[in-house]
Structure 1
Amino acid sequence: MRFAVSYSTAFNGTDPDRLLAFARHAENLGFEALYVQDHIALYPGADYGSGELPATLPYFDPLDCLSFVAAATSRILLGTGVLLLPYRHPVVLAKRLATVDVLSGGRMRLLTVGLGALPGEAHALGVDFRSRGRRADEAIDVLRLLWAGGPEGISHHGEFFAFDNLCTYPHPHETPTLPIHIGGSSAAAARRAGLRGDGYFAGGMLTEHERDRQIDLARKTAVEAGRDPAELEYTRWGSADMSPERVAELTAHGVDRLVVGFAGFDPAEQHDQMSEFAERFSLPRR
């Protein structure tokens, strides 16, 4: 099992010193990666269905935030959980992601994308909320085309994006493409992971049986698409108080990675929780 940490400015605030201290502590303790969340804009009444999000919650741009973290660390991988893909143009996004990956020495390797669940956010960005799934699918294809393209250029004519003989450099660091994981709690997200993803990051409030059904659906879809289901990484959310027995159960369910959030308004308390967790699971200190 691999363990990563999640840092939410919505709950930890926007103090850059606190963010960097958190990232460096996670790296020194042996956590694999740091994940950040994404919202471009909120509004009064924004609701996922389980409660209203305060409109004043501060969300950093995830790639700007990860660039900042990368400059102050040397080993920890960089992740998004999740980046709202339908609201970014893939030509611009391909450039930004490759830039972070090159400048970090190849650490932008846990990109997880999702659709977004707030209609008002989609509307503000000129995106039809009902078509955001198709838009995300096409954006994934465009990202990979651009990263793999040579000096002769790449052409694409789809439902949402079109260009001819396009080149975008730099490419990702020492690899033809970046892994793209799919986040979500729906059957559609699981199928998208099987068809296009390098991994599936399961979200939502689901039973263990429902989660098993979704990862099975992702792997079955991968087989039907001629892909190797064994290469599909399975990521789940974890908690600071989870026991070794619980982690063993999740391992038995095929989970490869747990992303853990650590609460606490006091940074010292938060760091102590991280240290205790790392000791509990014998993470390799750096």
Structure 2
Amino acid sequence: MRVGFGLGTHTGAAADPQAFGALCDDLDRLGFDSLWLSERVNGSAPDPLVAMSYVAGRTAHLKFGTSVLVLPGRNPVLLAKALASLDVLSGGRVLPAVGLGAVDPREQAAFGVDRAERGARFDEMIELMRRCWTGDEVTFAGTHYAVEGVRVQPTPVQQPLDLWLGGRARSELRRCGRLGDGWLPSFCDAADVAAGIPVVQEAAAEAGRTMDPEHWGALVAYAKAPLPDAVVAAIEARQPDKRAADLIPIGYDALRARLVELVDAGASKFVVVPVDEPTTWRAELEGLAETVLPLQTR
């Protein structure tokens, strides 16, 4: 069981390079498994590829991932080379979780891909990127992407370089089983995880694949104080069958208890994300480290 720390789409943590550097140092020093970076054009979070490069150079042990990196709208060959290069230069610390992008039409327009094409483009990109990471000469002719005689080097240190997918809808679970190497849903409880794993496994089996039993995870948002009524209403409108308290634990002890529930449901990789950013990152990370990091196993 491993615990990583995530920054949300509207984080201000990277606005000050000294503060962001100190945050990375503290995560590494305290023993967090990884730092996860979100992607949103309209958010204040830094570009995740750029930020991961900074983390790679700043830290010695801390892994780093994307939660999630939007694929449609990017060049799959260039992205494959960028991730492979970063994996090599960091000594194998890249953890890419990828997705189709936000439902916000402004975000979709920024990536320049028609909403109706996102799924098909995503599927092709996964296949092409994986073939690029073999180091072999690649010729590929898909509906949306085509290359001839391309050889991407260097190849990733991690073989394979696993791609994690999120989502909780049945179609998303089945896509994860067909294409993904790990499942990282968000805004979920233990029942969601327990119900989702067999759906992913079934789709993987139908595709002639198997999922690593250690590649079930969850992104867990948490709060330090009771959520404002407006936030509660927004969460429960999005998931009317859940209470906000079922999805966002309040306080470190409740967060620890939620992680234990998720472990019992079958998950073992976690990204914890504060709903509200603290005034002092070091105190926040030390409080988390004292409460939840003892759950980690190697």
1:109-148 mapped onto 2 (5 Å cutoff): 110-116=95-101, 117-148=103-134
Instruction: Summarize deviations over 1:74-121 as a string: whole Å, max 9, x none.
Output: 00111000001112110110111011111111111x200011122332
Tell me how far apart the structure 1 counterparts of residues 177 and 160 of structure 2 sit (CA, whole Å).
Answer: 18
Question: In the alignment, what sits opposite 2:231?
Answer: none
Tell me how far apart the structure 2 counterparts of residues 265 and 245 of structure 1 sit (CA, whole Å).
Answer: 21
Tell me how far apart the structure 2 counterparts of residues 210 and 107 of structure 1 sit (CA, whole Å).
Answer: 29
State the 1:226 CA deviation: 2.0
State the 1:126 CA deviation: 2.5
Residue identity opposite 1:222 in structure 2: A
Tell me how far apart the structure 2 counterparts of residues 235 and 209 of structure 1 sit (CA, whole Å).
Answer: 13
Question: In the alignment, what sits opposite 1:219?
Answer: 201
1:16-55 mapped onto 2 (5 Å cutoff): 16-39=17-40, 41-42=41-42
Instruction: Give 1:202's match in structure 2, choosing from 176, 181, 185.
Output: 185
State the 1:220 CA deviation: 1.4
Q: What secondary structure sits across from 1:64 in the alignment?
A: helix
Q: Structure 2 length normalisation: TM-score?
A: 0.81
State the 1:9 CA deviation: 6.5
Structure 1's unaligned 5+ residue stretches are 43-56
Instruction: Summarize deviations over 1:6-41 as a string: whole Å, max 9, x none.
Output: 1247232411111111111111111101000002x3
Return closer, same or farther for 1:219/1:229 CA change in 2, 3 Å cut-off. same
Instruction: Give 1:93's match in structure 2, choosing from 75, 79, 88.
Output: 79
Residue identity opposite 1:257 in structure 2: K
Tell me how far apart the structure 2 counterparts of residues 82 and 131 of structure 1 sit (CA, whole Å).
Answer: 19
Instruction: Give 1:59's match in structure 2, choosing from 26, 38, 45.
Output: 45
Note if 1:154 corresponds to 2:138: yes
Choose 234-243 or 70-79, whichever is displaced more: 234-243
Instruction: Give 2:287's match in structure 1, choosing from 248, 267, 276.
Output: 276
Return closer, same or farther for 1:118/1:64 CA change in 2, 3 Å cut-off. same
Note if 1:253 corresponds to 2:265: yes
Question: In the alignment, what sits opposite 1:52?
Answer: none
Return closer, same or farther for 1:121/1:181 CA change in 2, 3 Å cut-off. same
State the 1:229 CA deviation: 3.3
Q: Structure 1 length normalisation: TM-score?
A: 0.85
State the 1:230 CA deviation: 4.0
State the 1:219 CA deviation: 1.3
Instruction: Give 1:83's match in structure 2, choosing from 69, 72, 75.
Output: 69
Tell me how far apart the structure 2 counterparts of residues 244 and 61 of structure 1 sit (CA, whole Å).
Answer: 30
Tell me how far apart the structure 2 counterparts of residues 129 and 119 of structure 1 sit (CA, whole Å).
Answer: 9
Residue identity opposite 1:114 in structure 2: G
Instruction: Summarize deviations over 1:226-257 as a string: whole Å, max 9, x none.
Output: 22234461111223623543322111101111
**Are the equivalent residues in 2 in contact too, given 1:219–1:232 (CA < 8 A)?**
no
Tell me how far apart the structure 2 counterparts of residues 167 and 243 of structure 1 sit (CA, whole Å).
Answer: 45
**Are the equivalent residues in 1 in contact too, given 2:214–2:269 (CA < 8 A)?**
no
Tell me how far apart the structure 1 counterparts of residues 191 and 258 of structure 2 sit (CA, whole Å).
Answer: 15
Tell me how far apart the structure 2 counterparts of residues 164 and 208 of structure 1 sit (CA, whole Å).
Answer: 45
The alignment yields a C-alpha RMSD, in angstroms, of 2.0
Question: In the alignment, what sits opposite 2:236?
Answer: none
Question: In the alignment, what sits opposite 1:235?
Answer: 217
Q: What secondary structure sits across from 1:69 in the alignment?
A: helix
Return closer, same or farther for 1:120/1:236 CA change in 2, 3 Å cut-off. same
Percent identity of equivalent pairs: 33
